[in-house]
């Protein structure tokens, strides 16, 4: 009998407008789950608001073990916000809380943008998925409960003005994990003594993955297997380390592997471990007495089954 490998890999979904990230994950999970059988595991590499479209990495099967590579990655966005008003959610889906009659020039806008580049302190929106004492902040806010958000340090690597037609501002933003674009728009508006309500938001990239990899939900329905990238590609930023079949068996049993390379000028680092073209999992390379030693980290159950 031919064994069928479980589904594992990444889909770079172009999330539809109005969908929650959870809704998107559930739909992709349904599409890849065998009919009549238990649903496969699925998760995402970084939440997108329902208002936002764009890159939502969805991880399936064993790939869910590496979701943090998306959660911790830098991201790029294109955002349009309106300086003439603000809402309680900091986007056009909320209740208007203030309106502003004054106007500004493009030069005035350009003058203050450098303040928001580099490391900045930012307070997340109260309507966000951040947990406070185990509760989602947005759920507390919608119930009228007091929500106190703590400021956090984030990095805005690049901020480029793409268009300005008052009161609308369109920026491209390259930022670190944890940065909220709605908060950025709000803070720019506050600095100008105006609003800063997000009207359009699109994630262009997660971790430097190109826009061209994104697929629509319609494409997934029509050719889902062609839209699934292997887990190995998701681990592209980890150094590739190849070991023999006999070493693979020991590695997958949790044993350390002494490699032939010497310790000279070798730094400790995380690696993706392969036997031939088979991904076994990830580990860390550390200096031993005379040689580098491969320490097992996350091991893939499918590989353990194959090399049992």
pLDDT digits (tens, 9 = 90+) for 92-111: 999 999 999 999 999 999 99
We find that the CATH architecture of domain 239-306 is Roll (2.30)
Q: What is the largest CA-CA distance in the chain?
A: 74
pLDDT in tens, 155-207: 999 999 999 999 999 999 999 999 999 999 999 999 999 999 999 999 999 99
Place of tokens 């194959």: 306
Q: How many angstroms separate the CA atoms of 260 and 176, rounded?
A: 37
Burial (Cβ within 10 Å: 0-12, 13-18, ≥19) of residue 227: buried
pTM above 0.85, yes or no: yes
Place of tokens 């690597």: 157
Instruction: Say yes or no: do domains 9-72+209-231 and 75-206 share a fold.
Output: yes
Q: How far is CA 163 from the centre of its chain?
A: 26
CB distance 205 to 212 below 8 Å? no
Residues with catalytic roles: 49
Q: What is the CA radius of gyration of the chain?
A: 23
The answer to which of 1-15, 164-178, 183-197, 231-245 has the lowest mean pLDDT is 1-15
Burial (Cβ within 10 Å: 0-12, 13-18, ≥19) of residue 307: middle
| b/e per residue 126-155 (b: at least 16 CB within 10 A) | bbbebebeeeebbebbeeeeebebeeeebb
262, pLDDT greater than 90: no
Looking at residue 5, its pLDDT comes to 66
Report the CATH number of the 75-206 domain. 3.30.2350.10
Q: How many angstroms separate the CA atoms of 116 and 179, rounded?
A: 12
Q: How many angstroms separate the CA atoms of 1 and 307, rounded?
A: 17
Assign 273 a pLDDT band (cuts: 50, 70, 90): very high
Between 240 and 264, whose confidence is greater? 240
**Phi, psi values for residue 21, rounded to 5°:** -65, -40
The torsion region of residue 229 among left (phi > 0), alpha (psi -120 to 50) and beta comes to: beta
Going by C-alpha positions, the residue among 66, 43, 3 that lies closest to residue 299 is: 66
Q: Where are the domains of the chain?
A: 9-72+209-231, 75-206, 239-306
Q: Reply yes or no on domain 9-72+209-231 having CATH 3.90.1150.10.
A: no
Looking at residue 290, its pLDDT comes to 77
């Amino acid at each position: 009998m031919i064994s069928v490998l479980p589904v594992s890999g990444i889909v770079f979904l172009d999330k539809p407008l109005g969908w929650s990230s959870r809704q998107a994950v559930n739909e992709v999970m349904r599409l890849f789950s065998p009919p009549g059988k238990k649903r496969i595991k699925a998760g995402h590499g970084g939440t997108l608001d329902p208002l936002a479209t764009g890159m939502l990495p969805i991880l399936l099967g064993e790939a869910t073990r590496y979701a943090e590579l998306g959660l911790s990655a830098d991201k790029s966005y294109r955002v349009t916000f309106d300086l003439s008003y603000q809402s309680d959610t900091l986007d056009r889906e909320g209740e208007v809380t203030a309106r502003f009659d004054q106007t500004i020039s493009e030069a005035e806008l350009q003058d203050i943008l450098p303040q928001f580049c580099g490391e900045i302190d930012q307070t997340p929106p109260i309507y966000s998925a951040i947990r406070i004492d185990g509760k989602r902040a947005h759920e507390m806010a919608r119930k009228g409960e007091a929500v106190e958000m703590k400021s956090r340090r984030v990095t805005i690597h690049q901020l480029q003005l793409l268009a300005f037609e008052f009161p609308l501002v369109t920026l491209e933003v390259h930022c670190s994990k944890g940065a909220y674009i709605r908060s950025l728009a709000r803070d720019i508006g506050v600095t100008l003594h105006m609003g800063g309500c997000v009207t359009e938001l699109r994630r262009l990239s997660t971790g430097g993955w190109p826009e061209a990899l994104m697929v629509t939900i319609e494409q997934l329905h029509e050719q889902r297997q062609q839209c699934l990238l292997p887990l190995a590609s998701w681990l592209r930023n980890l150094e590739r380390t190849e070991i023999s079949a006999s070493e693979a068996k020991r590695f997958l049993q949790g044993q350390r592997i002494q490699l032939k390379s010497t310790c000279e000028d070798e730094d400790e680092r995380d690696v993706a471990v392969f036997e031939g073209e088979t991904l076994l999992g990830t580990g860390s390379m550390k200096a031993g007495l005379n040689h580098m030693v491969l320490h097992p980290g996350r091991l893939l159950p499918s590989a353990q089954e194959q090399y049992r």
